């Protein structure tokens, strides 16, 4: 399994060879093509995933249209975590924006790692804390920042990857129309 991810986990907590073996044998590498659905509306999330390559997005339906409300880029983790924890159907979906390669661990395997690895609980807790912090920051940004500030932050954090996103997805992510995004882009770029 990817040594790159072992290095990422080591940033969270020191992972011994034994702990890595416990985790690595349960991680699955999966590839999705551009626009392929990773998790469908109404499905129960069974994985916590880590983006190796590509971009994934979360969408919900509004007036029959998919509205983007979150993106995950390389070296980040993602999950419909409410569905994962509560074992309930999700009200949103997760889709590959580009060709995507992920590592993922199932609900059952995650609990097995908890039992077999001392560091597994620490890593899982830190990953979940990261998801929570990102969620709170996003919510605060939507409530306190104007659209231009949100767009500038997205450009600052992910300049190369934002070039791969359709403008309509960027616009819905920052909470504006594609026309308003065009006006902001003329100012910013």
- HSE on the CB side for 34, CA within 13 Å? 4
Q: Please check whether residues 168 and 112 belong to one and the same domain.
A: no
> Given 92, 109, 134, which residue is the final one in a domain?
134
Asked if residue 35 belongs to a domain, the reply is yes
Asked if residue 155 belongs to a domain, the reply is yes
Q: Please check whether residues 63 and 120 belong to one and the same domain.
A: yes
Within 8 A by CB and 6+ apart from 110, the residues are 26, 48, 120, 124
Averaged in consecutive runs of 10 residues, what is the pLDDT profile of the chain (189 residues)?
66 76 87 97 95 93 88 89 94 96 93 83 81 87 92 86 83 89 88
pTM: 0.83
Q: Please check whether residues 162 and 118 belong to one and the same domain.
A: no
Task: Specify the number of domains making up the chain.
Answer: 2
Q: Could you tell me the residue range of the domain that residue 183 belongs to?
A: 145-189
Structure-block tokens of residue 172:
């819905």
In angstroms, rounded to a whole number, what is the distance separating the alpha carbons of residues 137 and 98? 25
CATH code for the domain of 34: 2.60.120.10
Q: Please check whether residues 18 and 102 belong to one and the same domain.
A: yes
Task: Give the model's pLDDT for residue 1.
Answer: 47
Structure-block tokens of residue 176:
């504006």
Q: CA 71 from chain center: how many Å?
A: 6
Q: Per DSSP, which regions of 47-106 are E strands? A: 47-53, 56-62, 65-72, 77-78, 93-96, 100-106
Q: How far is CA 6 from CA 42, 123, 163, in A?
A: 33, 11, 29
Using CB atoms within 10 A of its CB, is residue 158 exposed (0-12), middle (13-18) or buried (19+)? Answer: middle
Q: Please check whether residues 47 and 117 belong to one and the same domain.
A: yes
Task: Give the model's pLDDT for residue 3.
Answer: 58
């Amino acid at each position: 399994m990817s040594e790159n991810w072992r290095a990422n986990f080591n940033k969270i907590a020191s992972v011994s060879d034994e702990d890595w073996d416990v985790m690595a044998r349960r991680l699955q590498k999966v590839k999705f093509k551009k626009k392929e659905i990773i998790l469908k509306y109404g499905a129960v999330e069974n994985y916590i995933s880590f983006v190796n390559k590509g971009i994934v997005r979360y969408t919900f339906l509004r007036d029959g249209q998919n509205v983007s409300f979150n993106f995950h880029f390389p070296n980040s983790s993602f999950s419909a975590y409410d569905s994962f924890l509560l074992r309930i159907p999700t009200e949103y979906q997760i889709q590959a924006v580009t060709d995507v390669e992920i590592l993922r661990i199932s609900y059952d395997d995650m609990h097995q790692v908890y039992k077999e690895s001392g560091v597994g609980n620490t890593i899982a807790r830190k990953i979940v804390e990261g998801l929570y912090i990102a969620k709170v920051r996003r919510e605060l940004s939507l409530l306190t920042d104007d659209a231009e500030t949100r767009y500038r932050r997205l450009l600052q954090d992910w300049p190369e990857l934002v070039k791969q996103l359709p403008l309509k997805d960027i616009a819905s992510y920052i909470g504006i129309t594609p026309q308003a995004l065009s006006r902001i882009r003329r100012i910013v770029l």
